[in-house]
Structure 1
Amino acid sequence: MLTRIITDGGSPRYKHQRILNALDAVVSLPALRSTMLLGNWHKWLRLDCPEPVIHYVTRIYKQWTTIAKDVPGFCADSGDVQKLEFLAPSIPEDRIQICRMIKGRLIFRNVNDPASRDMILRNILSLEGIITSLKTFNTNMNYLEIAMDILRRYVIEDGEKTQHHTLFQNLAAHWDHRKAVVEYKEGHFRRLAATHFKIAVVQLILFVLRHFPYLSNIQPLQDRRGVRALVAEVDDYFLFLLYTLASQLGFSTSKVRRGVNQSCRPSRPRKYVLSGYQRKWRGGKPPMRSFLDLETGSFLPTLLGTAKDKDTSLFVQADFITAFFGRISYSL
């Protein structure tokens, strides 16, 4: 999984050393180790996208060291992690649940000092976004994997593995920074005063995640068992839209250049079979109703302005982007 390399000086290093360093920090906290799931790392390393992986794993470490901050003798176990992961302190219902668990001694039972327990509560409530763990990481990597595989198949320049070691290095080598735009609605753009690579690549990823059932054979989850909402299959029109957006964002691989020159008719309007029940979603591949919310609303300007105290699909998607790519800002 982590190929060992001997440097000229004779000291061992690893092919994925930066990921290993970030992971070492997380597993130094014993409570987080139980959801390590080593078998999944072969899949994640295959994606060749270490940058978002490192950012997410670093967020796990920062959140849990924040929870422990200024608490002498802090002690957590895997049960504490399981009760807190996927909760968002900014959402009122989750804040109430967290307060109830602290005051009812349902979590951090080994911390007995009342002042220390109050400090833990303040630390948790100070966290931004959804509380992460190695379980939330694996759940969300399954979602990111969809986007990475689609980009590799339809956008990434082939045959450049030795030149550009990661998927994002490949994309950056074929990106024109002068095309500074932000998409605020499907096919509608505003000019930016300036841009940077992260703004462009995140918009490309958001497009893929808005339309992944039409760019692959992967379906959204069911809101209720037995209700199959749609048939996933690659649609040439959505491929054309992907190529068009990539070009407008400044990406110019050979696949994109060929794709924008292909004529394609718009697809027929799609009909969905929906359950009356909306499944709760806090990470990973979205259920159908959440997917439809994202299909119409998951654009960068909307996500940046999403309310952080509302449990919505857009809040979850915005936090997903922040967890993997960090904060994003731009000027019109």
Structure 2
Amino acid sequence: MPESSFTQVNRRIEEERRAKFCGTASISISSLKPLLRTTNPVRRPIAEPLKRLYREEHGCRQEDNRHHAKATISQHDLEIALSNAGIQASRLQSDALPYPRLEIPPGVQLECLQGSDRIMAADEVFDGTNKHWIVDLYLDDLSDDLKTLFVEEYEYQKEPDDGEFYCKIRGYQGHHGNENPFFERIWLGRLSALSKNRRDLLDQLFRHKKYTDAFDTLLAIPALFCGFRLTVVHQVICMRCEEPNLHYLKHIRKIWSDMCSGDYQTMRLIDRSTIERVQGRAPGAFSTDHDELLSDLKSGRILGNFPEQQRDEIWIRICEVSRQCLIPSLFTFFEDRKFLSTAADCMRRLTGVGSKISVPSRLDEMFQDANQQTDRCIVQASQTAYVTIPGDAATRFDLGCRQLWLAAFREFRELPADVKKKDILAKARGKADETTLFEFASLANRLGFESNEISKIMRASLDLEVAKRLLLSARKPGKYRYPDFENCI
């Protein structure tokens, strides 16, 4: 957005804010209508900490203008309230303590644009005579831009997490939201001020369209982004395992879409508490998960934004989809990435993957279908036993890749990544087990894969490598030097 356009929009909003400001008054909490918590499903509700604060303070510092709420009122209701209070409109704008008390006409509730969490906490803590709050009043014919600014301006007092930044910025870029360059620049600027590193990481993510598109599909369920980690995205990209990572993200979208019966409004009403309670669980398969989550369902700790009947319908679908798999989320995605990363390190010992080639793409290049039967596929039944099943070359490649990944997941502890240091002792601690590495390469070769790395591993004398490792373990290189190391091996 050009600087001149940003300045013009900002000036227009500020002129409107001053023109529509009616003044400040003490308003009964019962006359205030807080924004629904679902307006920001990514952020964790903070009502409980505020309740504890108010109890400790025996009230709160409402008069501090940083603690004021902001609400809209019609010109008609304002005039009635002023008349009933017997004061002039100028009294509201005098900013003199104590603030005048206004009684809003019966049946009227003012929409709060800021301070909803504080009002809800105060409503539960204060007694009947004290249930008032200091409110900055504005006429209710505000533009959408000014309303949005009020709502998000209050959020400046609370540091957003990575997921909220992503949702806001992408929403204002037009992805699952209305495009608005002005607010996009505000949120980008806020991210830059908070952390230059996180701002750079966001740009890095935007340069990888496939990942950005995959994350964007999850914006249909905003609460999922409570588990988003912008600070880890670069590690996901650098893994060079694009296909399995993208498949996982698509899996998240499908599972949650199925649980919500594909309904867009239902997906948007899912809250953070529900995500955090059900992720990584399988109530359709495990009785413990079922009983715990059913209790949460009955108490409203999960699916609290839905009426009882709809809540029960969603619960049935949750149990149905979790019969075969754990319920995924962005939190489980980033946690499972650690496991995939270790397996990918194992695979790189066979593929020799460079910085610009993904592991699956390299496996495709390595598959030569060498020494295979035309209509049969080799399947590893145990560590030493193999069987064959019917299948063509495409099936052999697919099964071969799956078996290598499974072997990598089984053996990752024995095949750690090489330590990128020149220190000999550090290398010794991170060295792969020679026997396991040889068996891993042999499996790849038997399944029809070929590479320089596989050939090098299989040409090496396994007995010599084991003897070398044992000698280095018996006499630490930093403390002892063999007179003729090769002869000793």
Question: Where on the TM-score scale, by shorter chain, does this alignment land: which range?
Answer: 0.5 to 0.7
Q: 2:452 aligns with which of 233, 250, 254?
A: 254
After TM superposition, the structure 1 = structure 2 runs for residues 297-308 of structure 1, keeping only pairs within 5 Å, are none
Secondary structure of the residue that 1:192 maps to in structure 2? strand
Q: TM-score, normalized by length of structure 2? A: 0.46
2:354 pairs with 1:149: no
The CA distance in 2 between the partners of 1:85 and 1:158, in whole Å, is: 33
CA pair 70-175 structure 1, distance change in 2 beyond 3 A: closer
After TM superposition, the structure 1 = structure 2 runs for residues 234-253 of structure 1, keeping only pairs within 5 Å, are 234-253=432-451
The CA distance in 1 between the partners of 2:466 and 2:332, in whole Å, is: 35
Q: 2:363 aligns with which of 167, 171, 178?
A: 171
Higher helix share: 2
Q: TM-score, normalized by length of structure 1? A: 0.66
Aligned to 1:44: 236
Aligned to 1:200: 400
2:330 pairs with 1:134: yes
CA pair 196-24 structure 1, distance change in 2 beyond 3 A: farther
The CA distance in 1 between the partners of 2:319 and 2:390, in whole Å, is: 36
The CA distance in 2 between the partners of 1:217 and 1:51, in whole Å, is: 21
The CA distance in 2 between the partners of 1:71 and 1:120, in whole Å, is: 11
The CA distance in 2 between the partners of 1:49 and 1:159, in whole Å, is: 12
Aligned to 1:66: 258
2:184 pairs with 1:184: no
The 8 Å contact of residues 407 and 440 in structure 2, kept in 1 or not, is answered as yes
Amino acid of the structure 2 residue aligned with 1:186:
Q
2:416 pairs with 1:216: yes
The 8 Å contact of residues 213 and 233 in structure 1, kept in 2 or not, is answered as no
CA pair 135-159 structure 1, distance change in 2 beyond 3 A: closer
Deviation of 1:183 (Å): 0.7
The CA distance in 2 between the partners of 1:70 and 1:57, in whole Å, is: 16
State the Cα deviation string for residues 298-318 of structure 1 (Å, max 9, x = none).
xxxxxxxxxxxxxxxxxxxxx
Unaligned runs of 5+ residues in structure 2 are: 1-200, 419-428, 468-489
Deviation of 1:81 (Å): 0.3
Deviation of 1:233 (Å): 4.5
The CA distance in 1 between the partners of 2:237 and 2:368, in whole Å, is: 27
Secondary structure of the residue that 2:380 maps to in structure 1? strand
Secondary structure of the residue that 1:182 maps to in structure 2? strand
The CA distance in 2 between the partners of 1:33 and 1:41, in whole Å, is: 13
Secondary structure of the residue that 1:215 maps to in structure 2? coil
Deviation of 1:71 (Å): 6.6
Q: 2:319 aligns with which of 106, 120, 125?
A: 125
Aligned to 1:271: none
Cα RMSD after superposing both structures = 2.7
Deviation of 1:54 (Å): 0.8
Deviation of 1:157 (Å): 3.8
Secondary structure of the residue that 1:251 maps to in structure 2? coil
The CA distance in 2 between the partners of 1:135 and 1:159, in whole Å, is: 28
Deviation of 1:72 (Å): 8.8
CA pair 149-72 structure 1, distance change in 2 beyond 3 A: closer
Amino acid of the structure 2 residue aligned with 1:104:
S
The 8 Å contact of residues 346 and 417 in structure 2, kept in 1 or not, is answered as no
CA pair 116-159 structure 1, distance change in 2 beyond 3 A: closer
The CA distance in 2 between the partners of 1:159 and 1:42, in whole Å, is: 16
Deviation of 1:124 (Å): 0.3
The CA distance in 1 between the partners of 2:207 and 2:263, in whole Å, is: 37
The 8 Å contact of residues 345 and 416 in structure 2, kept in 1 or not, is answered as no
The 8 Å contact of residues 215 and 249 in structure 2, kept in 1 or not, is answered as yes
Amino acid of the structure 2 residue aligned with 1:202:
R
After TM superposition, the structure 1 = structure 2 runs for residues 2-41 of structure 1, keeping only pairs within 5 Å, are 16-41=208-233
The CA distance in 1 between the partners of 2:435 and 2:343, in whole Å, is: 18
The 8 Å contact of residues 77 and 108 in structure 1, kept in 2 or not, is answered as yes
The CA distance in 1 between the partners of 2:203 and 2:379, in whole Å, is: 39
The 8 Å contact of residues 271 and 303 in structure 2, kept in 1 or not, is answered as yes
The CA distance in 2 between the partners of 1:57 and 1:246, in whole Å, is: 28
The CA distance in 2 between the partners of 1:2 and 1:181, in whole Å, is: 44
The CA distance in 2 between the partners of 1:14 and 1:215, in whole Å, is: 33
The 8 Å contact of residues 3 and 16 in structure 1, kept in 2 or not, is answered as no
Deviation of 1:135 (Å): 0.5
2:306 pairs with 1:105: no
CA pair 77-217 structure 1, distance change in 2 beyond 3 A: same
State the Cα deviation string for residues 281-329 of structure 1 (Å, max 9, x = none).
xxxxxxxxxxxxxxxxxxxxxxxxxxxxxxxxxxxxxxxxxxxxxxxxx
The aligned length equals 243
Secondary structure of the residue that 2:386 maps to in structure 1? strand
State the Cα deviation string for residues 45-76 of structure 1 (Å, max 9, x = none).
01111111111001111111122227795321
CA pair 211-73 structure 1, distance change in 2 beyond 3 A: closer
CA pair 22-159 structure 1, distance change in 2 beyond 3 A: closer
Secondary structure of the residue that 1:126 maps to in structure 2? helix
Amino acid of the structure 2 residue aligned with 1:50:
E
Secondary structure of the residue that 1:214 maps to in structure 2? coil
2:253 pairs with 1:57: no
